Amino acid sequence: EQQHQPQQQQQQQQQQQQQQQQAASSTASNAQQATIHVFEFPQRGQFGLTLEDSRGRCFVSSLDSNPDNPADTRGLAERLGVMKNDILVKVNETSVHRLPFKEVIEHVKKERYPIKLTMARAIQPNHWNLTTNEGADATGRKRKLEQAQQQHQQQQHHQVQAQQQQQQQQQAQQHHQM
């Protein structure tokens, strides 16, 4: 019976963590109208995407096919989950959403690999209105991106804390069993 108790506690903690993550994700989605996605590209080469500048934002204008295999219509970016109109906000740990387009591209080219590209994705289709003058003003867009990034960092922090707690509990259980 004592062995079942730690398992039950662990299951309850996992359920609580999942509920917290879902609540945080829901809050972020509703408040910022964007989600944050991190994509890791393992080596230098073709990413399978085209970036363009629109109103001060570096966005994915198209997803390209695999140049090494013409039969494969999906490039690396698309296979990883990148979508058209995603906005590049970070390269590895460096925020790039305020940088001029040319600097963003140079930053991507000089980074070491594997490289992580953090993208903001609109919840509602065409929320960004990248090719027109409609939509939120620059200040509102900047604030939304910053809020979405902050929410993503908080989620990562909570996940790390939960993992540390879980490791501590496992170590305590192992010590108790000895």
Q: Tell me what pLDDT residue 38 has.
A: 92
- The pLDDT averaged over each successive group of 10 residues in the chain (178 residues) is 60 64 43 79 85 88 80 84 92 90 90 91 61 45 68 73 82 70
**For the whole model, what pTM was predicted?**
0.52
Whole-number Cα distances in Å, 94 to 99, 109, 154, 169: 11, 13, 17, 34
Tally helices (H) and strands (E) across the chain. Answer: 4, 6
Q: Tell me what pLDDT residue 112 has.
A: 86
The neighbour count for residue 148, using CB atoms within 10 Å, is: 23
User: Taking the CA atoms of the chain, what radius of gyration do you get in angstroms?
Assistant: 20
Q: Tell me what pLDDT residue 165 has.
A: 83
Whole-number Cα distances in Å, 76 to 21, 28, 73, 98, 151: 28, 28, 10, 26, 27
Q: Tell me what pLDDT residue 29 has.
A: 40
What 3-state DSSP class applies to 36? strand
Cis peptide before 70 (omega within 30 of 0): no
Q: How far, in Å, CA of 90 to CA of 128, rounded? A: 17
Q: Are 74 and 64 in contact (CB under 8 A)?
A: no
Q: Tell me what pLDDT residue 60 has.
A: 92
Q: Tell me what pLDDT residue 16 has.
A: 63
Q: Tell me what pLDDT residue 28 has.
A: 40
Q: Tell me what pLDDT residue 176 has.
A: 66
